[in-house]
Amino acid sequence: MLSGPSHFRIMGAHDGLTAKLAENAGFEAIWAGGLGISSSYLVPDAGLLTMTEFVNAAAQMRAACTLPIIADVDAGFGDVNVVRRMVRLYEAAGIDAVCIEDKQYPKRNSFRGGQHLEEPRAFAQKIATAKAAQCDTDFVVVARLESLIAGAGMDDALSRAELYHDAGADAVLIHSRLSDAGEIREFCRRWQATGRNVPVLCVPTTYAGTTATELGDMGIRGIIYANHAIRVSVKAVTEVLASIAKHDSTAPIEYSLASLSDLFGLIGMNDVLNDVPWEGAADSVEAR
Ligand code: SPV
Ligand code: MG
């Protein structure tokens, strides 16, 4: 996908169920997002969950769908030694890619204050360490640039992108929190001018008015819808629960529920054998 001719869309998930729903909806890949996973634990997206909790969440998604999974691994959970082990754990869990961001550990969500960039060469070393640690040659390491988030500017983003590419990054993610895609367009134009043929990913959370096709035309390869599944969950569950609490019946919200039949289909209830011949099995074990 990264070396393919056109852009692809990556849907954020926070558990096995949302990963499967993303696959069913036709997305091409999964973003195992830190904000979504943290929200599902009801903790801030500020480096509070452990690496094990993140890996386990991604592993749940791996078991639930067949799409490539790119795991948001924040700042790598620590220094280069942690990054080395992190890559091994994610690879062992069958995850296809990790995306490491160039902020100091513990990072803060990009839409909040407290943004502190990592020293560029220290972060390049994390990328090189991650690449050296991978066993499968197809494993992908994405270097996420937070210069525009931290107010360090476009020149900083571009020089870091070159450094991270030289350190071995397979792709870069340029993050912006503007309400239009101006910064994304400028980054792509200047990145292409460097002649470096490294794919660029972006996260159009705040510039939702720009379509995936428009981003693709700017030169973006992977478009990540990072937090939409968790945000719709919060809204939908809140509304339905409030209605049930208020009314004397669930009738007003029945129309907005998945049917039991759809839920059963999703979780594989139709494959469950109802009449398991336990006694016969026990006999045959004894006979053997
Ligand atoms: C996440 O989904 O956790 C991300 C993307 O890192 S964002 O929250 O948009 O920074
Ligand atoms: Mg994140």
Q: Which atom of ligand 1 is nearest to the CA of 35?
A: 3
Q: Annotated catalytic, 283?
A: no
Distance CA 248, CA 241 (A): 12
Measure 107 CA to ligand 2 centroid, in angstroms. Answer: 9
Confidence at residue 11, expressed as pLDDT on a 0 to 100 scale: 98
Structural domain spans, the chain: 8-226, 234-275
> Which band of pLDDT confidence, cut at 50, 70 and 90, is reported for residue 47?
very high
> Which of 173, 11, 150, 2 shows the shortest CA–CA distance to 101?
173
227 ligand 1 Cβ < 6 A: yes
Measure 38 CA to ligand 2 centroid, in angstroms. Answer: 9
Closest ligand (CA of 11): 1
The best mutation among 31, 35, 206 to test binding of ligand 1, ranked by most ligand atoms within 8 Å of the C-beta, falls on: 35
Amino acid letter for position 169 = A
Measure 46 CA to ligand 2 centroid, in angstroms. Answer: 9
Confidence at residue 213, expressed as pLDDT on a 0 to 100 scale: 98
Pair of tokens at residue 216: 């693709």
Which residues are CB-contacts of 183 (< 8 A; sequence separation ≥ 6)? 148, 154, 174, 176
The overall average pLDDT reported for the chain is: 95
Measure 41 CA to ligand 2 centroid, in angstroms. Answer: 14
pLDDT digits (tens, 9 = 90+) for 106-150: 999 999 999 999 999 999 999 999 999 999 999 999 999 999 999
Omega of the bond prior to 120 within 30 degrees of 0, cis?
Answer: no
Radius of gyration of the chain (CA): 22
> Which band of pLDDT confidence, cut at 50, 70 and 90, is reported for residue 277?
confident
Burial class (CB in 10 A: 0-12, 13-18, 19+), 214: middle
pLDDT digits (tens, 9 = 90+) for 54-101: 999 999 999 999 999 999 999 999 999 999 999 999 999 999 999 999
Nearest CA to ligand 1 atom 10: 110
199 ligand 1 Cβ < 6 A: no
Phi-psi region of 114 (alpha: psi -120 to 50; beta: other; left: phi over 0): left
203 ligand 1 Cβ < 6 A: yes
> Which of 136, 146, 138, 208 shows the shortest CA–CA distance to 172?
146
Pair of tokens at residue 59: 């592993």
The CATH homologous superfamily to which domain 8-226 belongs is Phosphoenolpyruvate-binding domains (3.20.20.60)
Could you tell me the pTM of the whole model?
0.94
Q: Which atom of ligand 1 is nearest to the CA of 175?
A: 10
110 ligand 1 Cβ < 6 A: yes
Contact 188, 200 (CB under 8 A): yes
